[in-house]
């Protein structure tokens, strides 16, 4: 929904010929802090980036290697167009309710100087918080159906820098630990890549609007005294082709988010702005919320996915969870293992339930309690099965009142042949979300491609995994996630979009010796705010929530917001996130730290001037410690105003969660 009419101003359209960087054109951000220079370098399309008069990206080449030749050589600029755009739009759900979309655009038309004289358009958009560009290969006589063998996009950083990433060739499902290392020493990396370029300059490299294309990876191709150059490495089909195109093509946007602090990267909405507006006219059925489920008990070996004496998804057990959800303000209940296909030799189907699970009765019971059952479709990588059954399954689920489905693809290759983040996988995931929208179904996708902001276009695409999540704290033989993990994710994986990490474990007992959440109880509450997901799961078994005062924070915490702020944070060390409730005056704050205890000073200047508030603070007790005393937590109330500065003392791998409510006078 557009809140303010768009302003689209044609600034210039000229036909020129340029053969060198000296004849190039420049486009700047609306606030003039960032400028991009575009042209050719010895016949190769190129760009460079300057911020506050400092060159941060040197001349970087652009183009493609096609199946029948290159589209990056012997090029000249034949036409350019500049435009400006400024509007504000409203999200049906998200970290902010309204988003300003303000940029200056330069569209450059290239043509080869000699036969076959192919055309290539490159569109640049410069925002106050970064740069984006995409390729357009228009329909032309010299191209019919063609293949991209590699995209030749470069990022020639002016100097080497520390960066956080996960290696693309050793990280299945993106479930890795983000490591800090010089770019010059990195393996090929999954996007996003987060870079500490200077003490007051951070960057993140990713992509937006990934549709019918291959996911990018980033490889270091040169490192010397002039800097370090990264190049895109598209995820291939098994035959080596990166992208199949039919006569014409628009690539995803390549984005460079730029901020003075790491927290600025978290607040960028550039990726969303680069996606198309919603294709769903009526979004009233799309309902963010928090849920519980029969999940942690299975990972902890107390229940099983398959039917048997300890089956989790039985009619009676799920009803028990529904009763708990209704009592404690949860909107949904997930049950994995409700359908055949989990046991040895069983045929998978999403069109019927195990004999001990009456799904229609469960759905009726849930709706009578004001709760919805959440479906689950694990495919073990059998994407074709989901495509064959999803129309019938989604129609059935809709009739029963199911509005959310968690999909899964455990299995190294989709359909035994293609990588999930290849063009093959991207096409599949898009089919699922579009089909789900027809039946008013929201999707939580596990084992996904990395998110790229598609939720703006398809707001039923609620959240995705693509992260080393909480389940590693149940069974990882190496001990689970380290304390720094959840204070690194907000600045890395979470930049790509909503993250189904599944926080809020209250019982740290072990099945595998030494493996449990390496945090305090208060940090688990803080993670519920810090790691954003509009469908947020309180992941523990309900037995571990019974009688716990800490549950009151989760009961009250929304999952969609009118405004988000990042008052402080350092990658891998600590972070504080403050979020304002939609349709109300309350704020919710999460603050978490790594294995080091620290004291955080938190000014509440974001509160309304002249108003009085009550802050309910859930915090580590003085003797709390993630290794020796993880459950020690205190709850206190204090009166606060915009002039108040709260002092938060976080234990080792500890945290705090705060609810701030306006007091009526």
Q: Which listed residue (471, 527, 601, 619) is catalytic?
A: 471
How far from chain centre, in Å, is Cα 550?
A: 27
**Rounded CA separation 190/235 (Å):** 10
Helix (H) / strand (E) element for 526: namely: helix 521-530
Cα R_g (the chain), whole angstroms? 25
**Rounded CA separation 92/112 (Å):** 44
Both structure tokens of 573: 């060390």
Closest-CA residue to 203 (of 215, 191, 194):
194
Whether residue 177 contacts residue 469, with contact meaning beta carbons closer than 8 Å, is answered with no
| Residue 477: strand, helix, or coil | coil
**Rounded CA separation 504/522 (Å):** 9
Whether residue 348 contacts residue 340, with contact meaning beta carbons closer than 8 Å, is answered with yes
Both structure tokens of 487: 């204070």
| Residue 127: strand, helix, or coil | strand
The DSSP code for 73 is S
Distances (CA, A) of 16 to 39, 77, 95, 106, 120: 11, 6, 43, 14, 15
Whether residue 37 contacts residue 24, with contact meaning beta carbons closer than 8 Å, is answered with yes
Looking at beta carbons, which pairs linking 163-167 to residues 24 or more positions away fall under 8 Å?
163/189, 163/193, 163/194, 163/195, 163/196, 164/193, 164/194, 164/488, 164/491, 164/492, 164/571, 164/572, 165/189, 165/190, 165/193, 165/194, 165/218, 165/492, 166/190
Active site residue 471: yes
**Rounded CA separation 317/357 (Å):** 9
- The residues annotated with a catalytic role in the active site are 471
């Amino acid at each position: 929904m557009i809140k303010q009419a768009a302003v689209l101003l044609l600034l210039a359209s000229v036909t020129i010929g340029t053969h060198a960087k000296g004849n190039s054109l420049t486009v700047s951000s609306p606030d003039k802090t960032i400028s991009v220079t575009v042209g050719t370098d010895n016949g190769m399309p190129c760009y460079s980036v300057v911020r506050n008069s400092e060159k941060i990206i040197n001349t970087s080449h652009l183009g493609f290697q096609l199946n029948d030749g290159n589209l990056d050589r012997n090029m000249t600029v034949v036409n350019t167009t500049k435009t400006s755009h400024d509007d504000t739009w409203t999200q049906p759900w998200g970290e902010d309710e309204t988003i300003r979309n303000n940029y200056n655009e330069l569209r450059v038309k290239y043509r080869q100087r000699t036969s076959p004289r192919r055309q290539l358009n490159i569109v640049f958009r410069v925002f106050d918080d970064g740069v984006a560009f995409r390729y357009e290969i228009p329909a032309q006589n010299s191209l019919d159906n063609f293949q991209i063998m590699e995209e030749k996009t470069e990022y020639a950083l002016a100097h080497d820098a520390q960066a956080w990433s996960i290696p693309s060739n050793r990280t299945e499902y993106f479930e890795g630990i983000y490591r800090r290392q010089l770019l010059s020493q990195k393996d090929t990396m999954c996007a996003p890549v987060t870079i500490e370029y200077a003490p007051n300059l951070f960057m993140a490299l990713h992509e937006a609007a990934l549709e019918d294309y291959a996911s990018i990876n980033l490889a270091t191709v040169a490192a010397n005294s002039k800097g370090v150059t990264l190049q895109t490495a598209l995820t291939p089909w098994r035959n080596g082709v990166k992208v199949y195109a039919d006569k014409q093509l628009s690539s995803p946007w390549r984005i460079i988010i730029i901020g003075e602090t790491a927290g600025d990267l978290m607040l960028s909405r550039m990726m969303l702005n680069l996606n198309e507006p919603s294709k769903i006219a009526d979004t009233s059925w799309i309902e963010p919320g928090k849920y519980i489920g029969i999940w942690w008990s299975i990972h902890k070996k107390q229940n099983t996915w398959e039917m048997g004496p300890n089956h989790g998804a039985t009619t009676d057990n799920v009803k028990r969870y529904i009763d708990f959800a209704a009592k404690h303000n949860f909107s949904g209940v997930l049950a994995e293992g409700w359908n055949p296909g989990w046991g040895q030799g069983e045929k998978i189907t999403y069109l019927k339930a195990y004999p001990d699970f009456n799904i229609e009765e469960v759905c009726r019971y849930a709706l009578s309690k004001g709760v919805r059952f959440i479906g689950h479709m694990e495919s073990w990588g059998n994407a074709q099965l989901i495509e064959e059954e999803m129309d019938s399954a989604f129609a059935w689920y809709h009739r029963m009142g199911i509005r959310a489905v968690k999909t899964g693809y455990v299995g190294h290759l989709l359909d035994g042949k293609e990588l999930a983040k290849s063009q093959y996988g991207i096409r599949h995931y898009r089919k699922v979300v579009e089909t789900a929208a027809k039946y008013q179904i929201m999707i939580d996708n596990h084992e996904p491609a990395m998110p790229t902001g598609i939720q703006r276009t398809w707001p039923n695409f609620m959240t995705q995994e693509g992260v080393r999540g909480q389940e590693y704290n149940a069974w990882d033989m190496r001990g689970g996630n380290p304390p720094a993990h959840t204070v690194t994710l907000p600045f890395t994986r979470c930049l790509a979009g909503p993250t189904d990490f599944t926080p809020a474990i209250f019982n740290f007992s072990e099945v595998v010796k030494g493996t449990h959440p390496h945090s305090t109880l208060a940090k688990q509450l803080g993670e519920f705010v810090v790691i954003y997901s509009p469908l947020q799961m309180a992941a523990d078994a309900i037995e571990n929530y019974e009688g716990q005062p800490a549950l009151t924070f989760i009961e009250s915490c929304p999952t969609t917001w009118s405004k988000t702020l990042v008052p402080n944070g350092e990658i891998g060390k600590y972070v504080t996130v403050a979020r304002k409730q939609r349709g109300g005056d309350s704020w919710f704050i999460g603050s978490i730290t790594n294995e080091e205890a620290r004291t955080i000073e938190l000014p509440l200047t974001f509160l309304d001037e002249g108003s009085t508030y009550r802050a309910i603070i859930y915090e580590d007790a003085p003797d709390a410690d993630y290794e020796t005393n993880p459950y020690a937590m205190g709850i206190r109330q204090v009166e606060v105003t915009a002039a108040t500065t709260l002092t938060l003392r976080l234990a080792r791998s500890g945290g705090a969660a705060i609810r701030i409510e306006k007091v009526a006078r």
